Amino acid sequence: MVNFSLVGCGFIAQKHSEAIARIPTARIYAVCDKIQENMKLYQDKHNAIPYEDFDVMLQDEKIDVVNICTPSGTHATLAIKAANAGKHIILEKPMALSEKDARDILNACEKNKVKLAVIHPNRFRPALIELKKLLDKGKFGKISHINATVRWNRNKEYYEQAPWRGTRVMDGGVLMNQAIHNLDLLLWLMGPVGELQAYTATRFRDIECEDVAVAVVTFESGALGVIETATTVYPKNLEESISIFGEKGTAIIRGTHANKFEHLVIEGLSDDETKTIMDIGEKQQEKSGHAWIIEDMIECINNDKQPIIGGQDGLNAVKLVNAITEAAESKRPVISTTNKR
């Protein structure tokens, strides 16, 4: 039995708890939150031990894994403390708000020989798994370009729900908060980014960070890419999409959360084969991305493996966001160093 502790008992912690509760070899052993009332649900439902003090919680030797579900700006401090206490870590996105913090987390985990998984659950959507298989098999041939799009809405009330939302030190803007999963997919599918140019703006919301961003990137492979992300779309979330254009194939995955094929044509692939792949993409996920990552963590602990989505993956996404921000603020091209420490 692997004992998990949920740190930060807000909305996202519920996804972690639902996933853990379905795994026979896992249990919610403890919870930690500065607000005692937030922990009551987990005490009543899972008989979890409540801790108001994070440092005290880390002294509990029965805790194997710490799931950090707190505001993004707190991730580095909490993760480094957890690593130094010898706890394995599942870290919500984004891994951190700066490259330095992300590297410090990685270094602390390596130094203390603990596992680190970062929550980027979109990789486990059936349509995206099928797209990745096709790319890995070279079915698209040479890639011309890829589009990554997030057209969502976050209204005034959303940002007023908590004072840290939209701030630079705790939250970040559309790139770091909402689009980070889409950017992770971009890197997962296409590999490292080379040079990029970008623009960001804060158009509608009274926040410190951007609510819309666009970027043009080159990949080390030579392919080009276009990134468009926004929380300014009226009146609600419109779409998230990934579109890939190659010399032997075209694919568009679309939906409110990029979860189904809208278009797929591959040279040499029959209509029946194409339909089969598209049908797989339409299927409901057997389990959530959070469940995939948590189950993988248990396997990594038991068999001394590295997590399927690890610290380097989390760092790569943070570096891409920071490169886009730097390019927009400096009004000049930036050479990205994704996929490197």
Q: What is the pLDDT of residues 90-140, one digit of tens each?
A: 999 999 999 999 999 999 999 999 999 999 999 999 999 999 999 999 999
Q: What is the pLDDT of residues 98-108, one digit of tens each?
A: 999 999 999 99
Q: Report whether pLDDT(167) > 80.
A: yes
Measure CA of the first residue to CA of the last residue in the chain; give whole Å: 34
Is the model's pTM score more than 0.75? yes
Q: What 3-state class would DSSP assign to 249?
A: strand
Contact 329, 202 (CB under 8 A): no
- The helix (H) or strand (E) run that includes residue 26 is strand 26-32
Mean pLDDT throughout 250-277? Answer: 96
Q: What 3-state class would DSSP assign to 248?
A: coil
Residues 280 and 298 grouped into a single domain: no
Residues 144 and 7 grouped into a single domain: no
- Domain count of the fold of the chain: 2
Q: Report whether pLDDT(339) > 80.
A: no
Residue type, 211: D
Report yes or no on 50 lying in a domain. yes
Q: Report whether pLDDT(245) > 70.
A: yes
The three-state (H, E, C) secondary structure of 251-262, written as one string: EEEECCCCCEEE
- CATH value at residue 175: 3.30.360.10
Domain hosting residue 295, numbered range? 2-121+289-308
- Give the per-residue pLDDT at 60: 98
Residues 322 and 175 grouped into a single domain: yes
Q: Cα 134 vs. chain centroid, distance in angstroms?
A: 22
Report yes or no on 244 lying in a domain. yes
Tell which residue, 209, 313, 326, 285, has the closest CA to residue 18. Answer: 285
DSSP 175: I
Q: Report whether pLDDT(198) > 80.
A: yes
Q: Can you tell me the distance from the alpha carbon of 250 to that of 267, in angstroms, rounded to the nearest whole number?
A: 9
Q: Can you tell me the distance from the alpha carbon of 246 to that of 249, in angstroms, rounded to the nearest whole number?
A: 5
- Give the per-residue pLDDT at 35: 95
Q: Can you tell me the distance from the alpha carbon of 230 to that of 237, in angstroms, rounded to the nearest whole number?
A: 10
Residues 21 and 165 grouped into a single domain: no
Beta bridge mates, 200: 213
Confidence of residue 330 (pLDDT cuts 50, 70, 90): very high
Residues 95 and 142 grouped into a single domain: no
